[in-house]
Amino acid sequence: MTVRKNQATLTADEKRRFVAAVLELKRTGRYDDFVRTHNAFIMADTDSGERTGHRSPSFLPWHRRFLLDFEQALQSVDSSVALPYWDWSADRTVRASLWAPDFLGGTGRAGDGRVMDGPFAASTGDWPVNVRVDGRTFLRRSLGTGVRELPTPAEVESVLSIATYDTAPYNSASDGFRNHLEGWRGVNLHNRVHVWVGGQMATGVSPNDPVFWLHHAYVDKLWSQWQRRHPGAAYVPTGGTPDVVDLNDTMKPWNTVRPADLLDHTGFYTFDA
């Protein structure tokens, strides 16, 4: 059974294996398919039209399935690898071990934002940014400049305390847990972390930065924590909602999986705590 661990607790060997598996997916071209899929959904999901991956109730189950696909791809390279998660409310500075050269590398240099160290620096030749929205082919970051502060534990707590999963109109204007976790309303958790990292992470092609997976693995963990906190609350809407994935509707791009199939993560993986 896959156990997803806090990135701060990984051993040197676990970091090395995770990085090597990611680089192998990149080398074979499989990695870029994930970036392409994410960008297609983020550009197509709209508040007034069909919305599946973002700004909608299915933001959470869609990313849960997307991360499962990626994790299974990693495990096809090295069966010992699981997705780690980044608790950005705890490891909230550029000095976190997450950003060390033996893991994801650090922030970008002044001027062009180019990441200069770590296994994903352009100078390694191992990490070309192929699926992109502009001419730059190197991984970029600007940690803590697009917004100064990552969310605090108190802000996370305030969102976990929201008892309703989602509310009409089921988009970026909604009240409820999902939209506050996604960040279009309120203290802003998920969206703010993308902005804090900067570089490709702030764009539609955000999976170009491997931290995308660690960020979303923590967002996914927060969904799980919310479920335990509110055992009586559940995914909504449950039927007949235009442009929105109801509980028992299938989700694109898979078309074989429903939010109902993804509410319980324990059939796929558990967390370290």
Hey, what are 163's tokens? Answer: 């008892």
Taking the least distance from each CB to other proteins, the nearer of 132 and 265 is: 132
Residue pair 199/142 in contact (Cβ under 8 Å)? The answer is yes
Taking the least distance from each CB to other proteins, the nearer of 42 and 100 is: 42
Residue pair 122/132 in contact (Cβ under 8 Å)? The answer is no
Hey, what are 7's tokens? Answer: 């990135």
Taking the least distance from each CB to other proteins, the nearer of 105 and 204 is: 204
Minimum distance from CB of 172 to other proteins (Å)?
5
Residue 4 is inside which H or E element, if any? strand 2-4
The rounded Cα 149 to chain-centroid distance in angstroms is: 18
Residues that bind other proteins (CB under 8 A): 36, 39-40, 42-49, 55, 111-113, 131-136, 146-147, 169, 171-173, 183-184, 190-192, 194-195, 202-206
- Could you give the CA distance from residue 208 to residue 32 in angstroms, rounded to a whole number? 8
Taking the least distance from each CB to other proteins, the nearer of 96 and 202 is: 202
Residue pair 26/127 in contact (Cβ under 8 Å)? The answer is yes
Minimum distance from CB of 257 to other proteins (Å)?
22
- Provide the 3-class DSSP secondary structure of residue 140: strand
Residue 269 is inside which H or E element, if any? strand 269-271
Taking the least distance from each CB to other proteins, the nearer of 100 and 147 is: 147
Torsion of Cα atoms, 195 then 201 then 207 then 212, to 10°: -50
Hey, what are 266's tokens? Answer: 């324990």
Taking the least distance from each CB to other proteins, the nearer of 130 and 152 is: 130
Residue pair 246/239 in contact (Cβ under 8 Å)? The answer is yes
User: Both ends of the chain: CA-CA distance in Å?
Assistant: 15
- Could you give the CA distance from residue 84 to residue 148 in angstroms, rounded to a whole number? 24
Minimum distance from CB of 55 to other proteins (Å)?
8
Taking the least distance from each CB to other proteins, the nearer of 111 and 232 is: 111
Prior bond of 119 cis (ω within 30°): no
